[in-house]
Chain A
């Protein structure tokens, strides 16, 4: 009969269904598993697959809070109760745009929003999330408490008065970043509508000047030179050096500020009055190797260990056509020592220099985040202070502190002096665009004997000098933060 044929046809049907099961297994499980070995794009990573992105909008992200608990970023439900859609809201508009960043479906993420994304979406603690789900809670993200200070940030922003520039303030002993200002800023609430425009906007508001902008440091660099001089044991604060203007440095005569000549001066005086020729000679005597050694100890040559995405962190150093140089390259080390040559630094780098001196020569990793907490208040992760390294001996740091205190007491930095609190610091004024305008700087810390706060202030393209425009702002910021 025909039963043999019927059996064969059924065999074919079974084969077809086996094929279907095979293909379903491939799509559901095998493809993404195999891409781990083949390096092809997994379905879950495919740019056309917006599933995981969209899914994030169904759950509120965690809050980003200031040090005293004010909302810097929160999620609002713009959908309905039964079909929620959470969109980021930044209540303080442009005030914390750079450190906090933004998070939008079509524009991606930046700043803390990006660095702490796993915590904010609740992914950092899978086990905890499963427990939450089993207990019937919603699987929402954890909150991030930052170290940022709203009032000081506001005051610092106002103090810049809209001038392009940057201010960073951090605690020397812990590395806690309390202020991170970059002007011009942008309103992260409007990013969703204009992310591509923002990248090309005039004045580069998207750029975090505190961590990405590379400026010539001017005389603030002399703090590093002085640290190298004292800590190497070759100099003491009382060592004297010829301070005439026009001494050959790197084979070319170097002028002092205003062409002023000094006699034989000690290093304290040379720092107080920012005598270029003295520090140029000191650096030449120390040699490029020692100078670079101390520059690297302070953090130059690599991105700062800050909790921001690496794309938003620039290393400081001596650059040739964008490439970093080291001690083996032909560099005019005498001019590097006074912040000239091709030396470029970020404001965060210079704040770290001040903080390291303030902390007795120990450099702490700067930190924007303080702790990650579940919604119910349980602390999931405390972000402890991390020591990067000892940069110089405590005694060298103490001597340098005294020299810097003298700068504010009677030198170029008197405008930073606070009533009743002794401030240590250093001014800087780098000529840019052929001397037409200045990059003004002040770095410093206070109180001198028990430093609680270190600060770096810089202003782009100003007519003023570090001592006249940057030092007064540093004073205001220190005053606010030391209250």
Chain B
């Protein structure tokens, strides 16, 4: 079976999900099946089919699973949003169409992504500007600068900035990885790593046990020093490491500028992944992580809203934190929703979204009672999925995300050129990290910060940016697989 045919059949589960999901919601509401709502489903499926035909035409060698997996997530999101509010679902369906249009445009205009390498500094600057925009033009949401109001639309530039930064990094490191390490691409001798690591461990133990220094800063400091020592031992070229330090500084600055731990983690994690794959040096990663941890610790103790998020995460059931605005109320309600779902969930449309007596179609707006779990259509959509579809439904969503990431990594493995490898890994990693940041936040694995669940959460910016991400991955895979096929190597 050809790749494209597999892609076509991959859309079958999507259509089943959309049909079953809409029907389930309608039955739960005991409404008559309205032709309008069925039309959404049909339009959505036709759009998916058009997307498939477009790929068949322009990118015949592209990975056959990425697009159906993205469509599956989007269908999931559409059904859940429809369950929350019909009007919002209509908007989301429209964004989906726009997203597909943007997806097609990206494929048409960026036939060869190596062209992007020429504009990498422009792209980097664009990324920084996008990130800084909300700080200049926008308003804070719970203390973080993430969105700009454009009339009726709320634009979240960080969603696009993540693409720009990954493109820049992949492009820069693809060209400079050799010189960065003075031409030594082989891994450093094990004895050296062991010596540096052992020395750091001894110093840390001495500091904590003998001098009685506080544990966390001591460990952090020693790990950082060890990592720097390892980097210095490589005698890297300062000229070439400069831009990397710049990117690191940018990520830290971003933490200051947008004041959001979650998006910073996502950006910084993407940066470290690309850096690690390019240099195969764990020392860079360890240095980066310990510096980030130091920065995050500083933020968690000095910036009020980050501090609140962290203390809400550490002790969510402290009654004071629950009652405090911006405290742990959202978190514990999301726990309750997941617990209410249990193994199999309450069923689509059957969980308690609003207190009784509130119309389900009350648009989130002033005058509407607040839902039990705040932001069920964006930040907390995963909690609602767990509530209505249970642990099984939630894990299914996670597995779809993981499969998507796996297909992205597969492109990197197949690819022959550095840039394709690094970009595919970077984009896939940033996607996976975004899932980790929001799902980890909602389940209490890490402090809760507001990023979207890709393709699932309501929101135009997120959907647009992620469609570009899929388009980029498909272009990369088309090139990689075409090359591989020509050599007959896979």
Contacts and interface: CB of A to CB of B under 8 A. Distances in A.
A20 B338 contact: no
A19 B443 CA distance: 10
Contacts of B425: 6, 9
Interface string A311-340: 000000000000000000000000000000
B153 to A, nearest CB: 29
Interface stretch (A52-60, A164-172, A221-229, A403-411): A52-60
A86 interface: yes
Contacts of A29: 339, 342-343, 391
A462 B235 CA distance: 103
A421 interface: no
Contacts of B273: 9
Given A9-B409, A80-B359, A21 B398 contact: yes
A126 to B, nearest CB: 15
A28 B339 contact: yes
Interface in A286-324: none
A14 interface: yes
Contacts, number: 148
A17 interface: yes
A46 B319 CA distance: 11
Nearest to B274: A9
Given A27-B443, A29-B343, A57-B357, A2 B277 contact: yes
B340 interface: yes
Contact of A58 (B317, B356, B399, B406): B356
Interface in A225-259: none
Contact of B440 (A23, A55, A82): A23
A4 B358 CA distance: 55
Nearest to B278: A2
Interface in A27-48: 27-29, 31-32, 42-44, 46, 48
B356 A24 contact: no
Interface in B325-368: 332-333, 335-343, 352, 354-360
B380 to A, nearest CB: 12
A27 B432 contact: no
Nearest to B436: A16
B165 to A, nearest CB: 17
Interface in A433-471: none
Contacts of B444: 23, 27
A24 B412 contact: no
Contacts of A43: 335-336, 339-340
B443 A48 contact: no
A46 B439 contact: no
Contacts of A25: 391
Given A24-B386, A48-B332, A84-B356, A9 B391 contact: no
B322 interface: yes
Interface in B281-334: 317, 319, 322, 332-333
Nearest to B351: A51
B312 to A, nearest CB: 13
B211 to A, nearest CB: 34
A78 B440 CA distance: 39
Interface residues of B, number: 57
Contacts of B337: 51
B114 interface: no
A114 interface: no
B280 interface: yes
Given A17-B432, A43-B336, A80-B359, A5 B439 contact: no
B477 interface: no
A49 B387 CA distance: 14
Q: Looking at A4, A14, A19, A20, which has the most chain B CB atoms within 10 Å of its CB?
A: A20
A109 to B, nearest CB: 17
Contacts of A84: 356-357
Nearest to B341: A28
Given A44-B340, A54-B355, A27 B429 contact: no
A18 B33 CA distance: 39
Contacts of A58: 352, 356
Interface in A390-441: none
Interface string B399-415: 10110011001001100
Nearest to B392: A28
A9 B352 contact: no
Contacts of B439: 20, 24
18 contacts: A2-B421, A5-B276, A6-B413, A9-B425, A14-B402, A17-B402, A17-B436, A19-B440, A23-B440, A24-B338, A24-B395, A24-B439, A27-B335, A27-B386, A29-B342, A49-B336, A51-B352, A83-B356
The 6 A-B residue pairs with the shortest CB-CB distance in the complex, in nearest-first order: A85-B357, A79-B357, A85-B356, A23-B443, A43-B339, A27-B338
Given A19-B440, A51-B337, 4 more contacts: A27-B386, A28-B390, A28-B394, A54-B356
